[in-house]
Copies of this chain bind each other. A is one copy, B any other.
Amino acid sequence: MKKIINKPENIIPELVEGFVSANSRYFEKVLGVNGILYKGRRKDKVTLVIGGGSGHEPIYSGFIGRGLGDASVAGNIFASPDPGAISETAKAAHAGHGILFVYGNYAGDNLNFDMAEEILQDDGVKAAHVRINDDCVSAPVERINDRRGIAGGVLMVRLAGAACDLGLSLEDTKKQVEHVADNLRTIGIAVSPGQLPGLDKPTFELGDDEIEFGMGLHGEPGIKRDKMRPADELVDVMFSHIVKDMPLKAGEEVCVLVNGLGATTMLELSIAYRRVKQLLDKAGVLVYDADVNSYATSQSMGGFSISILKLDEQIKKLYDNPCFCPFYAKEGKA
């Protein structure tokens, strides 16, 4: 697949330049590193800093704004930003009430964000983190802390932004966001691989009639290679994995995100959501809100994920907080 780029070595600086420039009403660049600040960030609350490897846009770089992240840090394609970039961005955004980092649970990110926290702590800045680990088939429930973060990160950032907006302490904000993570599950499938810019080969190989079930957001292998099936059958199997991991009872309320991985049309995502809704209806589970879009992408990978967030009073209050950035705007309360 042909990629619309210039020199491969300039991809990230050119991405950040274009991204900040196009959204200059809201975004400004951190001097010297690939960090982006939300211009309108509040000064009276914990500062939310998000980030990770590039190539999944609009998340994370684009998810800064009112009620969302205060700053984001962009690594190279599918690679964690370095500790210096993270700590510099956090310092540029910090308003004196501590930093909460929210990022995907990957070895490289964990290492680099941990080092950034140490740098900040040495400089007298309080910092804490919550790792996104919504991919419910990436490790068994006994090793839940080994699970990857995938498209549920969209909801994690939204609700972390809301928790920060409440003006609580860093410790209490972190607890609220951990509670969200406990109630969020995602599963994805790939029908075609992505293609990294500057490389000639796809991110993985897949036969004409094959799908990868439970793959990660970078093309990591899933739990099985399966045959392509009609949309409803795919959704049925995906849904069954989620409710096995996080049982849902009749009368409970959920929010649903059907996220496209890049090359999958909104037509297909809508057809898939339609089936999720049918299954939830059948189980007597109430849909408080739903969202169908492509927020967490993987370099034009074909496929999608289903995220389910189980609501209680605390989570619903966070969900009802309005938020706005150029790529994600929600009015909050219905």
Contacts and interface: CB of A to CB of B under 8 A. Distances in A.
Contact of A18 (B18, B21, B57, B272): B272
A172 interface: no
Contacts of A22: 256, 258, 270, 273, 277, 290-292
Interface stretch (A2-10, A157-165, A174-182): A2-10
A57 B6 contact: no
A277 B5 contact: no
Interface of A: 1-7, 11, 14-15, 17-19, 21-25, 54-55, 57-58, 62, 77, 191-192, 197, 208-209, 211, 228, 230-232, 234, 256, 258, 262-274, 277, 289-294, 297, 299-300, 302-304, 324, 326-327, 329, 331, 334
Main secondary structure of the interface of A (DSSP, over half): mixed
25 contacts: A2-B191, A2-B209, A5-B268, A6-B232, A7-B230, A11-B267, A11-B271, A14-B274, A17-B274, A18-B269, A18-B272, A18-B277, A18-B292, A22-B273, A22-B290, A23-B292, A25-B334, A55-B265, A57-B266, A62-B266, A197-B268, A265-B299, A293-B327, A300-B302, A329-B329
Q: Which of A1, A14, A228, A302 has the most B CB atoms < 10 Å from its CB?
A: A14
